[in-house]
Structure 1
Amino acid sequence: MLARTVTVEFLEEWITERIADYLEISVDDIEVDENITHYGVDSLARATLGADIEDEFGVEVEPDFFKDRVTIQDIAAGLPQITGEPAAGGREPE
């Protein structure tokens, strides 16, 4: 069950803060349109981020969610069930 609806921009900031915390770097060093592997985000960090999204927003993140989502922008846009906005590519939330 969705606890709240937030903007894509809020979600981008929230994800950026999580990644900065995981990697112990400044949020100022992270660009939302840069491939997150550039910063050292690995499969463990992706799994942790997925679990954090599930815990914080009460939605399920599928195991292959991050496969084609390589930037923070991609990740935030791929969560229409949180933002209430159509998913990238015009798909409706499931």
Structure 2
Amino acid sequence: MKNFVLLLTIIVGVFFVHNNLLIKISRLEREIYVEKRYVEEAEKKLAMIKLEYDKKADLKSFETEMHEKYKMEITNNINYFSTEMED
């Protein structure tokens, strides 16, 4: 009878410890899920801000500055390679 009570106490103790650990794990997983959603939203906002910044960048002033300082010009037709027949 003494062994049975000891075994029953151990089983109930393990059950409560296991249940407690499952509750803690569930809370941590819920927090991780919320943080992942927050990070995803922040990444989307960052991408939108980068896109807006690229749209607002004043490329024309950059073009004129490079032309004035370094005599660079922008071209639309680029020859990546040429053959002897074209010469």
Structure-2-length-normalised TM-score? 0.21
For the pair shown, the structure with the greater C-alpha radius of gyration is 2
Q: Which structure has more RCO (C-alpha within 8 Å, separation ≥ 6)?
A: 1
* Structure with more of its chain in helix, by fraction: 2
Structure-1-length-normalised TM-score? 0.20
